Structure 1
Amino acid sequence: MDIYAILRSGGEEFESEAAEKAFTDKCSGKPRVLISVEGYNTCLHEDDIKKELINHFNSCCEVGTVIVRKDPDNSPNLYRRAYVILLGDGAEEKAMQLNGTDIGGWKALVKVEPDQEDEESSRYRSSLFDEVLNDPKFWFGVSVRGYDTSLPVDKVESDLKEHFSNCGEITHVFVNTHEEQTNIYFARQQEEARALFLDGTEVGGFELDVRRVASVLSNRPFGNGEIPLGYTIPAHMFEFASKMNEEIDEKVRVFKKQRNII
């Protein structure tokens, strides 16, 4: 992982030789990891995003630097992905624990960035990520709040599955204990619509708050790749971010090995 290449790609410049030396000394000899963070409003000021990210990730480990770039398509907005270099033992695991957490009113989608890859491997990695992003299993769904959060996760899941079973085929259920909400996905759009009608109904004496979950279909980027104002990252990407990093890394490793053999 070439930190200086990352800095230069982001247009970062050190104010002086002393500043560059201070950064080098700070990073020298320490384990480090590069993560990317998405979810912020790209219309915000670059300095505001940097401050929010530094304050948030300082809670778990030492922040080496934060890179917030301008959109590569000459848009006046910021690029939708910021990069953070974290230092210290266990930085990767600590960073992933902050995936899906709130930062000033927006949820952070945290991903560990791989070491520099060749173009073909990078395209393959992107294709695997897009495959998870666009999985039809997560096209239609609702988020549910208001149930008894003191119950065990398996009890919450079984009670809500039973309550929403008449809506149609349930493809996936995720109980988010941190956010105290459960996402329930359905095979078809009309089943999602039926689930929304259960807003205000009760489970175990608790009134449910049922809303449409953020999905890949609910708000798409523009055709030129620009992220529209108010864009929300599909909810299932927060759930699978850590698992995706591990599985995609392994698939890319196998891909590289097979290609070298050929």
Structure 2
Amino acid sequence: MSNKHVMHILEEVKNGCLSIEDAFLKLKQSPFEDMGFVKIDHHRELRQGTSEVIYGEGKTARQIVEIASAMVKHGQKTIIITRLSSESAEYIGQYHTMYYNESGRIGVIGIFPKANGKGKIVIATGGTSDIPVAEEAAVTAEALGNQVTKLYDVGVAGIHRLFSHMDEIMSANVIIAIAGMEGALASVIGGIADCPVIAVPTSIGYGASFHGLAALLSMLNSCASGISVVNIDNGFGAGYLASMINHR
């Protein structure tokens, strides 16, 4: 949508020809910016409350720079880039000031907003090997304005480690449970927590784990209520969903 079109809508509101509600609807339905290799949805935040996120895998570093530059030009203050290689991050850093989390392969251009969610998001992992997925979830949640508490390596192989954090678990507004192998952590947390639990299966495990499929099926078949499940290794999806819940 051009500035001229926006001004026309505002003039219609000013003259009483268009209601504020109808004007807001028109702005929400605004078109995208077509850059040839990408069509950037600059009005996603207006429609959904969160700006568009850049998925880095499969894109060249130059493409990411051009997309991010267009977003900055249109006033986006926080830009999340997921599945970002360290090589691409180094290149992007020549053009934009960016925080990069190498473990989670996620970058944030711009500011981390002040936490304004209703409570805190607790992120728990079964083992240390699950931390990369957890870091992707944590950075996503923090970049979307949430307070995050991390409980790493609290899996069922030594369940007393989890129970030593009952205060954090019971005071959470949302919990993200991340585990590979058989994925039992989500069921255990779901059985003791009084808030929504987002389960994330990871591709960590020996052969019969089938690169996360075993954990995925375990989490989908959990007998604990209040558990939702995202895709294998999808830390971003879990962090995003947790943020939506935490801001309701």
Fold similarity call, TM over 0.5: no
TM-score norm. by structure 2 comes to 0.28
TM-score norm. by structure 1 comes to 0.27
